[in-house]
A and B are shown apart, each in its own frame.
Chain A
Amino acid sequence: MTNGSMTNKSSFKVERVNWSTTTILVLCAVTVLLPLYVTVSMAFKTQGQAVDGNAFSFPAPFSLDGFVQAWTLTNFPVGAAMSLLVTAGTVLATIVLAAFASYAIVRNWERRLFRYSFFYLLGAMFIPFPVVALPQIQLTGRLGLDNPLGVILLATMFQLSFSVLLFTAFLRSIPMELEESARIDGATTWQTFWKLIFPLLAPMSATVGIFAFLYAWNDFMMPSLIISDPALQTLPVRQNLFQTQFSNNYHVSFASYLMAMAPAIVAYLFTQRWVMAGVTQGAVKG
């Protein structure tokens, strides 16, 4: 990319910036951003302007009325708290459980129990949620887990295979010498894990964590089926309110959509590196 500035001065042999491709890609990027622009602009409109039919117009005047109404209609503070609870729980449980299991598996690979456990945990990659959803709804209902806690449990278990895959691949690349020197200093396995291994796993934990976050924050299917009390629903599920009642209050519904989507987009902007790394690693190793 430094070539761009160098072209004028130095050699013409260096290939120049491909402007036609740049233009095409910018146009494609617009189609990506268009629905998001509509969401933002609709959210800031007044009710009158929101129903006038032109979704692409700029909000004039700017109005926060949509947000104010959405806040109370969807009971946003409670919805956000539930989403936050489910997401934080899933992220933490996934990182800790997967790191624990992966460490045990890699360090005892020559043992059959640990080797088979690896393939057993990976098995969830082959089981789509819909296949086990109906018995899970029943079981969680019977065990009193038809609430955000049950969603945390199930979401964590479905994230486990991908996470164990990433962690084990990374752990295999950590040289044993490091651990041995810690052990000579008298550290127990528990201490070695927390003081040495877990910090080394940090970049993988970031990837595992951000994927668990995106899944738990955005998912509709699982919470809508597992959580039986509407008052405990997560943000994505609460949005169906606008499909049944209030379906013409577009500025309210879009303000509500925006408040539910924004955290994931913001989180992504700060953690892009790990999101992008995770996709490639997950695909190549899976």
Chain B
Amino acid sequence: MSIITTPTTTPRGSHKQDPPQQRSRRRVEPIFYLFLVPSLVLFTLAITVPGIIGIFFSFTDSIGIGDWEFVGLTNYIAIFSDPAILQSYLFTFGFSIVTVIAVNVTAFLLAVGLTSRIRMKSALRTVFVIPMVVSGIIIAYVFNFLFSNSLPSLGAAAGIPWLESSLLANPDFAWVAIVLVTAWQAVPGALLIYIAGLVAVPADVYEAAEIDGASKFQQLLKITLPLVSGYVVINIILGFKGFLNAYDIIVGLTNGGPGTSTRSIAMTVIAGFNGGDYAYQMANATIFFVVAIVISLVQLSLTRGRNAL
């Protein structure tokens, strides 16, 4: 990244215009600190300090207020044998994996369709992006109504027994509803990224394949997919990172129920605020943080070199 700024300034050293340039290289103008410092200070106060406080209290028995004592790794040890937390991790990861697959298959196919020779291209694209801009909690309330009122009454009218009861009340399948709504909202982001990837594929590659007699399906599988593989990786990781934080949509659909079958990691952490196990949930959050870091490192190692920056 520095490549762009440094070399372009050096050759210009021979020009007459260089005094201000050289001055700024020797001594930073104070105003640049004025530009940078507000962000640094606010960022530190709003994110870094709370992060450190959180990690600190994860080694204590604090309930959020009043006295506390250091308890070492007690919280961490307890977490690894806590079935409720284990369940939230299993649910969140399972849900994220299924949603990532659903979102990417749907978005990829839609992107292929939207970049082919179709009518109403821009109107369709406009419509497909709408779910991205609506509030997650509110659309979850709307789907909540559809799942618990409209679908059952349709099921009753059509005489399909398993459809007559609400999907959201079924402990074994409520997660399916969460996947559907999350995917409904997450497809547009992935779709736009796939469209960008597909547009970049040169047309003559397909012409060559056409001459060689490759079918449309073969072209899709053997040419398109490998050429946009970088975008697939980006979409999978961005999606996965987002879904691990699932909160709004679940609150609007099941609120973690039935029972605790659809409680996400974020929901268990937040519950610590009212439940009095502040320190315990901070340990949970710290573990979650480490998981997020690991995923981000995987992302960096997979995407490095793929983009020009």
Contacts and interface: CB of A to CB of B under 8 A. Distances in A.
Interface of A: 1, 3-4, 15-19, 21-22, 24-26, 28-29, 32-33, 35-36, 38-39, 42, 53-56, 97-98, 100-101, 103-111, 114-115, 117, 120-121, 124-139, 153-154, 156-158, 160, 164, 169, 172-173, 175-176, 180-181, 183-184, 188-190, 193, 214, 217-221, 225, 236-237, 239, 242-243, 250, 253-254, 257, 260-261, 264-265, 267-269, 272, 275-276, 279-280, 283-286
Interface string B130-160: 1111111111011101100110010000000
18 contacts: A1-B121, A17-B117, A22-B120, A28-B110, A32-B127, A54-B153, A110-B25, A128-B289, A131-B269, A134-B285, A135-B57, A138-B64, A236-B137, A237-B137, A264-B133, A275-B133, A279-B188, A284-B234
Contact of A236 (B138, B238, B282): B138
B50 interface: yes
Contacts of A184: 17, 20
A253 B39 CA distance: 40
Interface string B111-131: 001101111110011111111
Contacts, number: 298
B134 A221 contact: no
Interface residues of B, number: 102
Given A134-B273, A160-B43, A106 B309 contact: no
A98 B116 CA distance: 38
Interface stretch (B69-77, B171-179, B240-248): B240-248
A269 B257 CA distance: 36
A100 B49 contact: no
Given A104-B36, A108-B24, A132-B47, 10 more contacts: A38-B145, A103-B32, A121-B39, A130-B288, A132-B285, A139-B49, A264-B133, A276-B125, A276-B192, A284-B307
